[in-house]
Amino acid sequence: MTPFGWMNDQLLRMDWLSALVTRGVLAAGLDPDSRLGGSIQFFVFDVIKIFILLTVLIFAISWVQSFFPPERTRRILGGRSGLGANTLAALLGTITPFCSCSSIPIFIGFTAAGLPLAITFSFLISSPLVDLASVILLASIFSWPIALAYVVVGLVVAILGGTLIGRAGMEDQVADFVRTAPVQDGDTDMTRAERFTFARDQVSEIVRRVWPFVLIGVGIGAAIHNWVPADIITALLGQDHWWSVPLATLVGIPMYADIFGTLPIAEALLGKSVGLGTVLAFMMAVTALSLPSIIMLRRVVKTPLLMLFLAVVTGGILGIGFLFNEISDWFI
Amino acid sequence: MIIKILGSSCRKCLSLGANAKAAVEAAGKQADIVKVTDIAQIAAYGLLSTPGLVIDERLVSSGKVLSAGEIAKLL
């Protein structure tokens, strides 16, 4: 085995932990291949793995992110336009730290500083959709090709979505107080000790926020994995139905969950031979759009722009779903 | 003195509010702590990430949960 293969299997996919949990299940007198034993194995292994990865990843990534506070992103993006600027905005969206409760202040701050809507929306779409932690988790649960494909298509949705919104000429479809908001450009440099505190606080904040979603997600995943008959899932979301991708997207949009809670569900669905495109569409719909974020956005943009935003993102997710169902043979 | 906590009722905003209260009490000062949740009012301070801390109409920090000790220095 190559060193990379070993690191990938043991450190990222945590095969050692899977084996350990299987032994634990056996020691408890259960058969890991049985329904109950299998569910317990899936649940315990996934919960432990996700929390280990979450802690390590969020710490490492927050350290990187501490170099790119939103003020700096705004400075970098200021005065740019065109496809290159949209690409830069989408890329910065993946590393700028923010939780969904901060997306509205960022929208206001960017718009008030005169950034075009095209750039701001590229940033806002990519930020929840593609972040560094989710990429590594995807690689751990699925594979590197799927993780990289997810990043690429997520960025494409953000870049094209922002560009389309920019082309629509809706710069006036923003609440009035957004334009008149002051622009503050504070000193945001951190010392090493501050970066450490920031990263540590991010870990505790995010873990405390997402743990219920992870438990629920893994629970649903375990249920799908071992209790829901494959033919029911296939009948609903099977690869040969035209409605699988739209159904997965529509179910996912109002849901509010982190990618960390969504992954185990996606993992279990993929195990039931649901198409890769359908699974990706579900994950993207859950993370990119949610009822709370739509309600918050409603406060700062007027209805036509909100509708355009929803239509562009939904359309992008549907497109990705159909595309990946067609080409899933390349990945699995 | 008027201290404002800017932000919706997310966890970070709540802990910042609690730290501010502790800082004021420890310093033995009189201060009103006001929570500002309306996005239009929050935007008027020009911050890019919540929670924000405003002391007597001056934005002193944003996007951070300052500890009671750090807030006490700003008072």
Question: Does ipTM surpass 0.90 in this model?
Answer: no
Q: Give per-residue pLDDT as tens, A316-330.
A: 999 989 988 888 777
- Collapsing DSSP to helix, strand or coil, A135 comes out as helix
Taking residues A255-281, what's their average pLDDT? Answer: 83
Is A102 at the interface with chain B, CB within 8 A?
Answer: yes
Cis previous bond, B51, omega within 30: yes
Q: How many helices and strands (H and E) does chain B possess?
A: 3, 4
CA-based angle A127:A255:B35, to the nearest 5? Answer: 70
Interface list for A 37-76 with B (CB within 8 A) = 69-71, 74
Q: How far A312 CA sits from the closest chain B CA (Å)?
A: 25
Among B48, B54, B64, the strongest candidate for a mutation testing the A interface, having the largest count of A CBs within 10 A, is: B48
Q: Give per-residue pLDDT as tens, A57-116.
A: 888 888 888 888 888 888 999 888 889 999 999 998 888 765 556 678 888 889 998 899
Contact B43 A102 (CB under 8 A): no
pLDDT class of A162 with cuts at 50, 70, 90: very high
Element (H, E) at A175: none
* Overall residue count recorded for chain A in this entry: 332
CA distances from A94 to A50, A75, B69 (A): 20, 17, 33
Taking residues A149-175, what's their average pLDDT? Answer: 91
Alpha-helical segments (H) within chain A: 3-7, 15-27, 35-65, 70-77, 83-95, 103-112, 117-129, 132-141, 144-167, 176-180, 192-226, 230-237, 244-252, 259-271, 276-288, 291-298, 303-327
Model pLDDT, residue A101:
60
Q: Does residue A188 register a pLDDT over 70?
A: no
pTM above 0.95, yes or no: no
* Tokens matching residue A166: 């920019």
